[in-house]
Amino acid sequence: MILISKKDIQFMKMCIDSSKTFSTCGKKQYAAVLVDEHDHIVGFGYNGGPKGFLHCNEGGCERFLENSQNGSVYDNCIAIHAEANALLHSDYSSRPTKIYVNGPPCFSCAKLIANSTLNTVYYLQDLDYKNWDDVKSFLLKANVQALRIDNGSF
């Protein structure tokens, strides 16, 4: 059994706090932190529109305007998700092994995670996310642990 450490809680708090500051999604605010084997931060990302586009909270996202269900198919989502931005803008030469995100990854982000050096995902539960069991199963098949941090931990 893997225990959630004080440092794990601190990284998750960082995701929660920074998502409120940086995320431009009109539905859910996420941030992700990449950490190497020595618990050094090597990447950070948040969900928001690509450069040159209106951000979601400025009317640039059809999902926001249509009030799409959380955890549903993201084909019409213009946002770059927090996990993808963290991987895109990280010091990947340091080989991150863990990612913290204040919500469960979607399937598209799970594929990116599976194809990276990450071996553990720490996430907060989202009861509105309907596809999490399938995504978690995929991560486990890719030898990536998915560890939930309970909201009551902090």
Residue 98 backbone dihedrals phi, psi, to 5 degrees: -130, 145
Task: Quote the CA–CA distance of 85 and 44 in Å, as a whole number.
Answer: 7
Q: How many residues does the chain have?
A: 154
Residues 6+ apart with CB under 8 A from 51: none
Annotated catalytic residue: which of 37, 62, 66, 83? 83
Which residue, 100, 97, 94, 119, is CA-closest to 8?
100
Q: Among all chains, which residue has been given the structure tokens 């020595």?
A: 38
Whether residue 83 lies in the annotated active site: yes
Name the residues annotated as catalytic: 83
